[in-house]
Copies of this chain bind each other. A is one copy, B any other.
């Protein structure tokens, strides 16, 4: 069976989406005299999607999209001082403390004695490196891969790079779209641990017939028991 467990990072090991939502709310308040909240949120998301192929994921891309949205929604009237507030949001996000999900460190310490642990995270290189460094978790991972997109091709090339077969890998993550379905597609196993909120871009309808490699848990603390049960996975 598998000897390597790969983990997603954002909202699997540490909280992330909540920080984006908090900043989005403050961004909307900044523009409240110009537009309704839901128009602002919709326009911001549309700008993010339009810019995804140009700027990728992460804090800097998000910030550039906020600035562009603010300019659009104010017809270019927004002043430099308010745009500085948006850049200050980015600095605040970068400096925000890393908050681990419950029992993450205990689980990694436990599993690292029996499995090779890997981190596979999508996003801005700089964001992810500094978050990993500040998380205190870096030493548990033998392999860290930061990728710009999590597709079937990405995972296949990561496996090839590390001389792994899909059978040797179990992936754990909170995004069906990025962490689970591509792994199932290449014949690996995957444990889906939903986070209480998911960025709309990551939301997909779960397929109706999930292969036997699919598993779902309520929280990461359940992972060691799940793995030590001989009927799993």
Contacts and interface: CB of A to CB of B under 8 A. Distances in A.
Interface in A148-185: 148
A1 to B, nearest CB: 26
Interface string A53-72: 01110001101100110110
B87 A56 contact: no
Given A129-B148, A146-B125, A71 B60 contact: no
A3 to B, nearest CB: 19
B74 A87 contact: no
Contacts of A94: 54-55
A149 to B, nearest CB: 9
Interface of A: 54-56, 60-61, 63-64, 67-68, 70-71, 74-81, 83-84, 87, 90-91, 94-95, 124-126, 129, 146-148
A87 B68 contact: yes
A78 B76 contact: no
Given A54-B94, A91-B54, A80 B74 contact: yes
Contacts of A70: 80
18 contacts: A54-B95, A55-B94, A56-B125, A56-B126, A60-B64, A67-B87, A70-B80, A71-B80, A71-B83, A71-B84, A74-B80, A76-B81, A76-B84, A77-B79, A78-B80, A79-B80, A124-B126, A129-B148
B77 A80 contact: yes
Nearest to A63: B64
Of A64, A75, A95, which is in contact with the most chain B CB atoms at under 10 Å from its CB?
A64
Given A79-B79, A126-B148, A148-B126, A64 B84 contact: no
A67 B83 contact: yes
Nearest to A65: B87
Nearest to A128: B125
Contacts of A129: 148
The list of the 10 closest CB pairs from A to B, nearest first, reads: A56-B126, A125-B125, A60-B60, A76-B81, A71-B80, A76-B80, A78-B80, A71-B84, A54-B94, A126-B148
A119 B95 CA distance: 31
